[in-house]
Chain A
Amino acid sequence: AQSVAQPEDQVNVAEGNPLTVKCTYSVSGNPYLFWYVQYPNRGLQFLLKYITGDNLVKGSYGFEAEFNKSQTSFHLKKPSALVSDSALYFCAVREYSGAGSYQLTFGKGTKLSVIP
């Protein structure tokens, strides 16, 4: 079975500083990896995905993620954090279960707090 882990429940960073939200994965084949963000009482918003190609993936709102196969990681990064980035971030891996179904398995989420 495929899985994804987010080792940090919470990350605090000062506004303007770079941020990293960590994610590691365990898959039996080539991973399809995603990052989603969830603001309070809101739905999940897609940030970026890695399917194949360049290890550095650029996404929405200035976020990027680096796929590292040797470390089985897919950390989310942003060069300069904004207070408005404060939210809950989920890493997810796409899991194929047959019959065209590709449900997502999510990590437990990391709460990012950007301090003014």
Chain B
Amino acid sequence: AAGVIQSPRHLIKEKRETATLKCYPIPRHDTVYWYQQGPGQDPQFLISFYEKMQSDKGSIPDRFSAQQFSDYHSELNMSSLELGDSALYFCASTSTSGRAYNEQFFGPGTRLTVL
């Protein structure tokens, strides 16, 4: 079965650079969530989208922005990168109907390293 796809899997950037992370949800899933997991930390919710509209914001810095496109894929844009942004970034998708309603399916994550 198709899973959540994230690209790139690894990304190395320098301070003050920008980065774009992409997430392709499971087909027919209408909701996407972004989480950030710092080293040795639990995943923290950043932002979510439902039907291409932002539905909620968590602990997402103002330097970050995100959107969901017409094909339901989502991109997390990160500017003025800081060393503390180094983390594993997960995307999760779910459907607001059907069997998957209560379950978030996670992608493999993008490991961002800021030097």
Contact = CB atoms under 8 A, between A and B. Distances in A.
Interface residues of A, number: 26
B24 interface: no
A36 B107 CA distance: 13
A105 B104 CA distance: 12
A67 to B, nearest CB: 14
Interface residues of B, number: 28
Contacts of B107: 43
B105 A101 contact: no
Given A100-B96, A105-B45, A107-B42, A51 B55 contact: no
Contacts of A49: 102-103
Main secondary structure on B side of the interface with A:
strand
A84 interface: no
A75 B94 CA distance: 25
B42 A103 contact: no
B55 A101 contact: yes
A63 to B, nearest CB: 15
A46 B92 CA distance: 11
Nearest to A46: B103
A103 B106 contact: no
21 contacts: A34-B104, A36-B106, A42-B109, A43-B106, A44-B43, A44-B92, A44-B106, A45-B106, A46-B103, A97-B56, A100-B31, A100-B55, A100-B96, A101-B31, A101-B50, A102-B31, A102-B104, A103-B58, A106-B43, A108-B41, A109-B42
Top 8 closest pairs, chain A to chain B, by CB: A101-B56, A101-B55, A43-B108, A103-B45, A106-B42, A44-B106, A100-B50, A99-B55
Interface of B: 31, 33, 35, 41-45, 48, 50-51, 53, 55-56, 58, 90, 92, 94, 96, 102-109, 111
